[in-house]
Structure formats: C-alpha cells, structure tokens
Structure 1
C-alpha cells in the first residue's frame, strides 16, 4: 500500500534527514562566515586603530609647530624639530618636502625620494594616505599626512610603525576565537553523542536480544532502563519471550510425551506385521504386511527424531563431554559408512589433518556426522564423490563434507536447517535431521553452514572450538 505506515515512515524520516542535513550545513556555513567576519572585522579594527593613532600624532606634530610653518622656517629646521618633538608611539618619523624628498628622518639618515609610494603620493596631492608594505621580512604600516596651513601645503609628515605586535595580537585573537569555536563544537558533539546514546544504546540492546529470540533463545531478557516508550517496548518483548518460552516448553513436553507413548503400540504393530508375514501365504497379504513393516520403521524413525529434537530444544539432554581427537574419530565414521558408499558405487574419500583436540560428546557428534554423511549418500548418484576434509586454525576445527550431488535449489538453501523442512526430491527425509545437528553443535559451541550450487553439489561446513586447556 502506497499510503501505508511503512511508506509514511520512510518519507517522514527521509524529509527529517534532509531537513537536518540542510540545517546542519547552513549552521556550519553560518558559523564559518561569522568567524571569518569577526576575524576580518577584528583585523580592520586593529589596523584602523593604528592608522588613527599615527594620523593623530601627525596632526599634533603639525599643530605644535604651526608658528614655524607660518614663518617659513619649518622645512629648514625640520631635522631639529623632529628630534625635539616627543612622540607617544614607537614609529619612524619622516618629513618630506613638496617634491617627495626626505629632509628629516628619525631612523634613516640617508636622504631619498619617496614620491612613488602610494601614501606619499596621496599626501602630496593634499589628502592623507596609508599603505602596508613588506620590508626585510617585516610588515610595516605607513601613514602620510599633508603639512599645510590655510591653503598652502609645505610638505608631508610620514609615520611608519611595525605590524608585528598588531599581527601577534590579531593571531592571539584568532586563536582565541578558533579555540572557543572548537570547544563549542567538541562540547556539542560530546553532548549529542551522550544524548543519542540514551536512545541508540537501549535500541541496540533490544535489537541484539530480538535477534537471539529469533534464533530460538527465548530465555533472553532485556534490561529496562527507563519507563518510556523504549521501556514499554522492552516490557512487551520480555513478556512475548516469556510466553513463547512457556508455550515452547509445553510443545516440547507434548511432543516428547506423544512420541514416547506412540512407541509402544508402534512396536506391537511392527512385531505383529513380522509375525503375520512369516505365516501368510497369500502374496497380496504378504505385500501389505511388508508395507506395514516398512512404514512402521519410518514412523519409528520420525518419532525418534521428534523425541530427540524436543529433548534437545528443552535442554533435557545430558552431554558427556571429553577431550576428543577428531582425526581418528572422523576416520572411524568414514570407515563405518564406506561399505554403504561402495554398494551405491560412490567414492567416499577422507582428507583428515591432525588437529588439536576438542571438547565434545562422542556419541552426539557421531550422530551429527552420520546424519550429514547419510544425507550426502542419499543425494549423490552413482560414480559420484563424497569428500570429508578436516583442517584447523588457532581457534576452530573445521570439517567439510563435499558431495557431487544435484545440489540444493537457491530457494530452498536458506530453509534446509529449519525444523520439518523437506525438499522436493524423493530422497528427502523427515526434515528434522539437520535441525537436530544444529542443536547438538550449538551445545558444543560450534556451528554449521551449508553452501550449494544447484547442479554442482553441496558442501556442509562444521566448526568446533579447539580445546586449548584440558
């Protein structure tokens, strides 16, 4: 349904994510632009402040020597006037005549012409000028102020100061702003992480527990953290697991009871079928008794599998674990089934490496390997090959049973280990054998995977943990 809950949730979350991403990008861009604006404004503020200070000093100097300017002695007495005046800033002072020649300098006694410099050129035309230049790897700020009285211009006073202190102050301000921004971002990220964890951590726990429940471990319980929507979901899942576990227990007890009760009358049916078969002379009657005997055997096998599976699922099976060397153990199983393979004209091969021992119940593991090899023999045609491999790594002993049978169709591969699943071929059994194997292997801390390519055979891989300490 296009307007169903799934579609609505998908579109809601999609729009929410898009909106969040856009807002986040706009926020980051705004923060960056704001910081750039602040830093730029801060730099202009400092530079303009220095310019104003230098300009004020130039105006005060001109005002102080207004009398000398008026009587025309200013330019001739410029060096001594420059030396006598007490400037309140650390700067190089220069007096320049109307031609751009330096006639007085507090730092550089060599006379030179500065008419080509931007700030001096502006001042010679009657307006204040400033410029920033590099000299000897140092950044300098120069401010030139015209010296004039009424409508007459007599020259230029030029003040030059180092920008090193200004740059240092600016860098400190920039580092401070970046540090504050970084701290805010880190603090926001940490707070966001912990706030997100208050939601995601319980959900991860619920997801992990739900996966275990889905695999049949209904004894798992989820710890409840808060009495909110997630807490209610936790209570619901715990209640569901409790009810399923209770019904699973009842089901297993029922199957075990029925299986056990049916064995006695089934044994009687089998016994009487054999007895009557031995005295019957009518061929039709003998054929019917053969069918009864065969079906009794098949029913007995089904009841045995049902009883085993119910006991294994309920945990009512006791295991006799011991240190077990797999190489001789598997070799014995292969030798036990080799005569049957020869009768079917199937090559049963073994490639068994020596491995460290495992901790296992020999009888139960033998049940597993016989079941798997029995399946391989059922489905492998004449002149086929079944190979049993044993190898190991540091943690696991790995057993592979590979056959050259018809393989398993892709649509059935995911279900072959499920209870009561039966394939479409005539050789399919009760559908309980692999489920029983899986239960036994899980009790040993191992696992079983099945891979198959339809038409090219099947591989069953079993992993059992290596026993490092006896």
Structure 2
C-alpha cells in the first residue's frame, strides 16, 4: 500500500511557532526589565542626590552680608551608605565658587527652576550630577545659590549588572515555561486530529460508517469530505459485490446449458472432426465455468476477510466433512482419498473461510493427480500449532515454481493441459495468513506434492 507523502508536521509547525513567539517575548521581557531597572536605579540615585543637595542648601545662612554653610554630615553620608561610591560637591553663588570641587560640572535645567541632572566624566570617572538652586538675599540683591552633588556610577553599574543577570534568568525561565506550555498546547490542539486518526485506523477495511464524533469547527470540512468519500466508496463496493455475484450467476448458468447441449451433440455426432470440435468446446466451457466459480469464491473470501469472525473451529470435524464432500469427485477419477492422521484440535477463526481453503487444496489434489493416485489428509496437533497436510502421488511441483504458485492466476508449467484458474492456492494462502498461520508448499520424497496449512494455537 502506497503511503501518503508527508509535507511537514502540524504539531511541529505549531510548536515552532509557539516557541518563536515565546523567544521573542522572552527577549522583550529581558529588555523591558533592563529598561525599567535602569530607570528605577537612575531615579533612585537622582532622588538621593537631590535630597543631599537640598540638605546642603538648607544649611545655608546669611550672616553679616555673607553666606555661610554649615555642611551637614548627613548630606553626604546618605550617599556613602548606599554603596561604596565616591561623592563630590560644589557650592556656587551664581558664577562665584564658594566650596567643594571647583571643576565639578554643574547640571543646568532648561525651562525653569527645579533639580537638574547630568551624567558626565569627572576625575576620570563617570558620575551623576544633581544641581539644585535657590534664590537668596545678599547685600547686592537677590542672587541664586547653586549646590551640585555628584556620585560615581560604578556601584550603579554593578547593580545593573546584577539586575541584568536576574532579568536574563527571568527571560530564560519565561522561555522554559513557555516551551513546556507550548508542548502542552500543541499536543492539546492536535489531540482531536490524533483521535480521529486512531478511530479511523481501528476500523476494518469494510467499516465505512460516517464519523459521528464531535470535532473542532476547523475539522468539520475535513470530516464532512471524509464522510462523503466513505459514502461513495460504500456504494461502489456494494455495486462491486452485486456485480460479481450477478456476473458469476449469469455466466455459470448459460455455460451449464451450453455444456449439456454440447455433450448431447457430441454423443449423437458421427463425424470425427465434429466430435473433436465439440470436445474442445466442452473443455473451454469447463475452463470458463471453473474460472467463474473460483473468481466468485475469491471475491467471497476477500469480502469475508474484511469482517473476519472468530468462532471456535473443531479442525478434526472440518477435515472429516471436507474429505467426505470431495470423495465423490475423487471416486470418479478412481483416486483414493483417505484420512491418514486425525488429531483433535480447535482454533478460532471463520469456519467458512477455513473450509473453503481446505476444499481448494483437496480439489487441486484431485484435479492434478492422475487416475489411480492416492491422496492422504492428516491433521497433527502440537503444543504450539495445528497442521493440516494434503499429500498426493501426482506429478508434484517444479522446484523453480514453488514460491510463485500462491500468486493470483499462476499455474505450474506441467499443468497447462488441465482445466484450472490459478486461484486455489491464492485463496488458501490469503485465508491462512488472515488467521495468523502459514501456507507451505513442497514436494514429497517419493514423488508427489504436499501442501500444508499451519494454524497457531496460542
């Protein structure tokens, strides 16, 4: 049977799509966490710098026309307690430097008052500078007092590195969870299709009932098309069965009538040429009638194999009955048909098919054995199997043809002069294999053929 060509896997495509989406989301989560962490760290540092600068600004006093600043300890200690950072400050009265680090850059806020921030390089290190200002009264009028506080960024960078590792771990964890969820989702999504596939694969070749189980809406067109196909196939098979039965009936009945008339004409004719022609006609009619009969048998076997029943079969009784049914034909050819061994054995299977297989073997033995030959039937039962052997003293098989004989319409080269269809061994082989057994064909040592049906007992 030719297998359908696979073009990828729906489960794999769905899983890859979900994993790709999960990977993109994991990357987005990583950068979002990074951005939020950087912003929070920046805002936190800016708030502390602003508080420190305001603390210094609040300590400013005007005395005797001069501005004095009592630098509070807490103003810079709050920065040092956060991390091991260097802290700088500068106090300016507008453009006049008062205290601290004169070269410390001043952050300038555009658009009005309020804290101003800038990130720059000071003394070879990256720093964050916060500048606050306040209007103060001096001898020369209202002037702005500016306080700038700076802190190095090494601690913040270390914190951000830790946060980066954490966010990377969060992204990796998110991706792993997404992989697990993607596997569950893909399996759950494809499960209805798997159930439909399993349901169809468990059916026999003749089980063409429509699929009635509920399916997802996306699968409704597929199931509808499948049901329509099975309905058409069922109708086609039923017509084929009717055609085979009707054709066999209509062919065999007229052939029997023609054969009878040919025999009558042969007996009445005195012309040798006419008698020879009528003999050949009778032979051709027999050949056609037998072929039609075995085609019908083969069709019956094929259809019953699709609905193989499992009944208890007493093989010894079946052998006795089959031999008795074949004995009249063997006696017409002066052939001795006997049962040599008959053990008691029981197997499970279709009794009609098993008997049909045995009758075909007996019919072949009677047909191809010469007049006066002996045919022995034996049933031997062992612990593992039961074997029915049909042995004759006929011409036997050509060794080169043993493997090809069970094929349909295949006949031995030494049997061409005998009427036959080449289906007897085919039917027997199909029946025994459907029951888990084996058909064996061999020649006997003293001359003749032996065909065996081996049935497993377990």
* TMscore range, shorter length: 0.3 to 0.5
Q: Larger Rg: 1 or 2? A: 2
